[in-house]
Amino acid sequence: MSTALQAQHVRDEIIIRMENVQKWYGSFHVLKDINLEVRTGERIVICGPSGSGKSTLIRCINHLEHAQEGRIVVDRIELGASSRNLDAIRREVGMVFQQFNLFPHLTVLQNCMLAPMKVRGTSKSEAEATARKYLERVRIPEQADKYPAQLSGGQQQRVAIARALCMNPKIMLFDEPTSALDPEMVKEVLDTMVNLAEEGMTMICVTHEMGFARQVADRIIFMDRGEIVEEGTPDTFFTNPRHERTRNFLGQILSH
Partner 1 sequence: MLRQFGTNEFLFILTAARWTVLLSLIAFAGGAIGGLIVALSRVSSLKALSLTAGGFIQVFQGTPLLMQLFLVFFGATTLGFDTNPWIAAAVALTLNASAFLGEIWRGCIQAVPKGQWEAAGALGLHYPATMRYIILPQAFKIALPPTVGFLVQLIKATSLAAIIGFTEVTRAGQIINNATFRPFVVFGIVAAIYFILCWPLSHLSMRLERRFAAATTR
Residue 170 has φ and ψ, to the nearest 5°, of -90, -25
**Nearest distance in Å: CB 225, partner 1:** 24
Helix (H) or strand (E) holding 195: helix 183-198
**Nearest distance in Å: CB 243, partner 1:** 32
User: Which of these, 141, 148, 224, 207, lies nearest to 172 by C-alpha position?
Assistant: 207
**Nearest distance in Å: CB 6, partner 1:** 29
List of residues 6+ apart from 203 with CB closer than 8 A: 42, 43, 44, 171, 172, 173, 174, 193, 196, 197, 216
Nearer to partner 1, 97 or 249 (CB): 97
**Nearest distance in Å: CB 196, partner 1:** 17
Asked if residues 44 and 205 have their Cβ atoms less than 8 Å apart, the reply is yes
**Nearest distance in Å: CB 145, partner 1:** 18
Asked if residues 67 and 239 have their Cβ atoms less than 8 Å apart, the reply is no
The rounded distance, in Å, linking the Cα atoms of 113 and 130 is 8
Q: How far apart are the first and last CA of the chain?
A: 30
Nearer to partner 1, 115 or 205 (CB): 115
Nearer to partner 1, 163 or 219 (CB): 163
Query: What residues make contact with partner 1 under the rule CB under 8 A?
Result: 62, 64, 87, 90-91, 93-95, 97, 99, 101-105, 114-115, 118-119, 149, 160, 163-164, 167
Nearer to partner 1, 76 or 118 (CB): 118
Nearer to partner 1, 18 or 115 (CB): 115
